[in-house]
Amino acid sequence: MAATRPQRAPITSPAAATVFSTVLTQGPVSRVEVGRRTGLSSAAVTKAARPFIEAGYLEELTSEERTGPGAGRPANPLAIKADREFFLGVKITDDDLIGVVCDLRAQVRVARHHPLTSTAVPDVVAALTSLVADLITPYRDRAHCLGVAVSGDVDQTTGVVRYSPFLRWHDVPLGDLLAEATGLAVRLENDVKALTVAEQWFGEGVGVTSFALVTVGTGIGCGLVIGGRLVTGAHGVAGELGHVPVGDDQPCHCGGTGCVEAIASTSAIVARAGMPMAEAVARARSGDPAVRAVFAEAGHAIGLALAAMANLVGPERIVVSGEGVAAYDLFEEHVRKAFTAQAFGAVADCLLILRPLPFEEWARGAAAVSIQALFRH
């Protein structure tokens, strides 16, 4: 049985959602400025903000004196009360669970790891339930949502992991299993898309209408935000950059050939170099020409894929992250060279931003997905 929940954020209309999300991602900000940024009238902003203030989600800060020509009454900026509600986020890898508790602004309050000894579904559910119980204790009265980030093909609507190659899962109803085990409202999302949501609302994507987040590591992932919205596509798998074909005959786990992931993922580099990743990185940095060639080919493949994506959707910026960026110095030159050569016209000017993020940030992305659920009442 799900626990009885107290009043949630009163998002009951598009105007309410717009005002709340503006303060959440860009605040503290005055009502006048909210109106200027959203196109809403002052009366509409005031009407939308009042229930949030009454429910304890927003507060008015001390007046700011305005000076200069045209200065009027002091403004009382609206700000989020970050500790009004807390959100749990968990990133699942093939050998670890990384969990966080975030406040309403997605700031991490506590983080925990729980090693996985098995990726069998019942074992993962049991381990994740134990991790949640450990995390939630100090926040139980104000934490009702759990976001979970999983690699692969995830159906957010049904909470089903349709396919996760690294966990070797097919059609797993993980959302329902976790909701029953934890008593929390569960939001499931692909891990890269979850990280993209966190960047959109609280990172490099704030104030940007279009950007791409590309992750390099165990897989090659991509999250797209176009027109201020995360792109999922009709089947929920939009942005699968790792399976864009850029090579000839390298077999990929997806069943295709020549995929970026078959050339530039960690496992591909390890297989082609014939040694563990740490050793390959060390050998390449010491000047081993054969190993450096492996990283060069990986960088070339990534650059081609980035250019193909940028030519199609034209993002304002591309953020590159993932555990693979620890070795980015070995293929950055090749990424940029291939991207510039293949990008069409002004697309070549697209800003590439390197942003190393630990797995705790992926768990934070899962929490951000559960924060986002506030807007789907």
pLDDT score of 328 more than 50: yes
pLDDT tens digit string along 255-265?
889 999 999 99
Are 33 and 76 in a shared domain? yes
* Domain enclosing residue 252, as ranges: 207-354
What is d(CA 191, CA 366) in angstroms, rounded to the nearest whole number?
A: 7
Last residue of a domain, one of 41, 62, 83: 83
Q: Would you tell me how many other CB atoms lie within 10 Å of the CB of residue 377?
A: 11
Q: What does the pLDDT read at residue 3?
A: 36
| Domains identified in the chain, total number | 3
Task: State the pTM of this model.
Answer: 0.86
Between CA 136 and CA 142, with CA 140 as vertex, the angle to 5 degrees is 115
**Local structure of 101: helix, strand or coil:** strand
- Residues whose CB falls within 8 Å of the CB of residue 228, separated by 6 or more in sequence, listed in order: 209, 210
Q: Is 221 found in the same domain as 187?
A: no
Q: Let me know whether 74 and 91 are in one domain.
A: no
Measured at the alpha carbon of residue 148, what is the angle toward residues 113 and 116, in degrees to the nearest 5? 35
Burial class (CB in 10 A: 0-12, 13-18, 19+), 163: middle
Question: 324 and 332 in contact (C-beta within 8 Å)?
Answer: no
Q: For residue 187, which of 141, 213, 149 has the smallest C-alpha distance? A: 149
Do 117 and 62 lie in a common domain?
A: no
Tell me: the pLDDT tens digits for 85-129?
Answer: 999 999 999 999 999 999 999 999 999 999 999 999 999 999 999
276 lies in the same domain as 372: no
Q: What CA–CA distance (Å, rounded) separates 326 from 117?
A: 26
Q: What does the alpha-carbon distance between residue 360 and residue 100 come to, in Å, rounded to a whole number? A: 7
Single-letter amino acid code for the residue at 280? A
Question: Do 166 and 49 lie in a common domain?
Answer: no
Q: From the centroid of its chain, how far is CA 286?
A: 34
